[in-house]
Amino acid sequence: MGQALEKPKLFPETKSFVWFFVIMSVLIGFRVGYEYHAYKTFISKPFYYTYATVITSYEKTKHTKRYKVLKLRSDDGFTFYTTSHQKKEFNHARLRLQLFPTESISFSSYLGTFYVKSKIKNTEVLPPTLKDILLNAVNKQHKDESIASFYNAIFFATPIDPKLRQKIALLGVSHLVALSGFHLGILWALVYGLVLLLYRPCQQKFFPYRHALFDVGLVAVLVLGVYVWFVGFPPSLLRSYAMVVLGWAMLLLAIELLSFTFLASVFLLLCLAFPSLLVSLSFWLSVAGVFYIFVLLQYTKQWNKWLITLLVIPLGIFVLMLPIVHAVFGVTSAYQLISPLLSLLFIIFYPLVMLLHIIGFGGVFDSVLSALFALPKEASEHLLPWWATLIYIGLSVGAIWHKKLFYVVLGLAIGYGIYLFT
């Protein structure tokens, strides 16, 4: 029997990828330079007028005085925090503000999210949007506000209750709450599978010459694109959607999909289009997670597919990401060891609770979730030093080409895990 033909690569030669990398890096440099010029212009002004929409609003108390913290998205394209001592309600509001920028705003904060003092000149209460209506519909199905915030976070990328966020971190499942490629992968399978069920009979009867991957894939890409726009383009979800679109295109062109040049290309294209991603922690963690999935698949692709899906990927990603996560977040709990199992269960849980909320029975698992979130009681702090993190990252990159380095990285991650949880 003849061997299967090897799929062509995105970059047939290393030289072509190097040139692509160099050109993209130069373009990103120019793009960042343009943003830096806009930043210098912004902070040099004594005041700056803008219109902005309130994303979130919550109360804080300092020295017995209450005030409101507002997170806003400006019509000019940046996101910022400000405070107000006005007692009015700012949810669903559009504001005309006078900002007072200072040099204390760093360039990285300007690209991401920064704090600036302001005066509210005008407030316009906007009518409820479709998203507001859906959020309210979810809230009505739950007595516990924190559980409602959990569901709204996994459905609509809204901020989660701070106390619940800490409990979720102790369980090691923050990645399940922050919308990312994991959620988009489940949604892709759901949309593609359902549309395919309807498409197949029609294809066989009316248009057998059509290509299902193109037609059904196009519908799935459009539906997911609308969803990503609807929830406000979270950085990790934006990275995932770009990979879905480009991955679908590569499948149509029969080009090798699981390659590090593909991941690097998506990364560079997104950074060129959205420089703010360069300072987005969720984006970097999302890229790291996909990188380690690719590393695992490179050295286990000959294994049983079910073994890879049910054991290698969830357990391997948990272990390999431990040093990366603990370079940023120090919180550590023994309950984080059940994270791989919870990640597997989430594949079934996510579409199921979507359906339950649609038919009005979203509160079915409330008691189970409350009991789960109440499990962690204590935690310790373990931050991995930056020098150790950089060594680990360097070895991980080297593992792309050297299998022995992959085993070194895996051994270091396992050893670090034993240190954390014993």
C-alpha span between 44 and 66 (Å, rounded):
31
Tally of CB atoms within 10 A around 308: 16
For the chain, give the longest Cα–Cα distance. 80
What pLDDT score was predicted for residue 1? 41
DSSP designation for 8: P
Query: Strand, coil or helix: what is 297?
Result: helix
The answer to which of 47-51, 63-67, 93-97, 392-396 has the lowest mean pLDDT is 63-67
pLDDT averaged over the chain?
Answer: 89
pLDDT (tens digit per residue) in 227-281:
999 998 888 888 889 888 988 988 888 777 778 998 899 899 989 988 988 998 8
The answer to which of 25-39, 81-95, 349-363 has the lowest mean pLDDT is 81-95
Model confidence at 407: pLDDT above 70: yes
Model confidence at 225: pLDDT above 70: yes
What pLDDT score was predicted for residue 331? 86
Mapping DSSP onto H, E and C, the string for 169-191 reads: HHHCCHHHHCCCHHHHHHHHHHH
What pLDDT score was predicted for residue 417? 94
C-alpha span between 228 and 184 (Å, rounded):
9
pLDDT (tens digit per residue) in 169-221:
888 888 888 888 889 999 999 999 999 999 999 888 888 888 889 999 999 99
What pLDDT score was predicted for residue 2? 44
What pLDDT score was predicted for residue 7? 64
DSSP designation for 232: T
What pLDDT score was predicted for residue 359? 94
Higher pLDDT, 376 or 411: 411
pLDDT class of 369 with cuts at 50, 70, 90: very high
What pLDDT score was predicted for residue 6? 59
What pLDDT score was predicted for residue 3? 47
Model confidence at 85: pLDDT above 90: no
